[in-house]
Structure 1
Amino acid sequence: MHPIGKILIIAGILIVIAGIVVYFAGDKLSWLGRLPGDIRIEKENVKFYFPITTMILASVVLSAIIAIIKKFL
């Protein structure tokens, strides 16, 4: 199998696993997206939401996971 095919299969499996976790543990993850530092502006006709702290946290977690995977492979 081509390397890109393997990558796509693994990415698909990880997305399915993430979806299952969010589906079954959604009420326990309600804090995600509401962290201090997330920018939220709500006015009469405009709502703007920029989850900068959540994105930084996700980036750190994903970077750590990738580093661990690279170390073992």
Structure 2
Amino acid sequence: MQTNNSLGKYLIIIGACVILAGIIIYFFHDKLQWIGKLPGDIRIEKENFRFYFPITTMLLVSLIVSVLFRLLRNFL
């Protein structure tokens, strides 16, 4: 039954992270306008066509999430 305890612990941690992200976005959305508009994000806009590929933003988010998971794994 050890797996149920660890699964519950991880679900609580993920839920707390989602709530924290929601609070940050709710209260600081006006200060986070730069997300998705970084140099390296590909944006093509024409009359009837839009293409958006936020590659730099995705790399930055991936790096931050990887560092957070590594820190959580070391401390838990």
> TM (normalized to structure 1)?
0.86
TM superposition outliers: structure 1 runs of 4+ over 2 Å? 3-10
Pair 1:20-2:7 in alignment: no
- Pick one of 60, 64, 67 that aligns with 1:57: 60
Alpha-carbon distance, 1:27 to partner = 0.9
2-structure distance, mates of 1:68, 1:10: 13
Q: Match of 2:41, as an amino acid?
A: D
Alpha-carbon distance, 1:33 to partner = 0.7
Pair 1:44-2:47 in alignment: yes
SS where residue 35 of structure 1 aligns? Answer: coil
Structure 2 stretches of 5 or more lacking a match? none
Could you say which structure has the larger radius of gyration? Answer: 2
SS where residue 44 of structure 2 aligns? Answer: strand
Pair 1:6-2:9 in alignment: yes
Structure 1 stretches of 5 or more lacking a match? none
Alpha-carbon distance, 1:12 to partner = 2.2
| Aligned CA-pair RMSD | 1.6
2-structure distance, mates of 1:4, 1:63: 19
1-structure distance, mates of 2:16, 2:75: 19
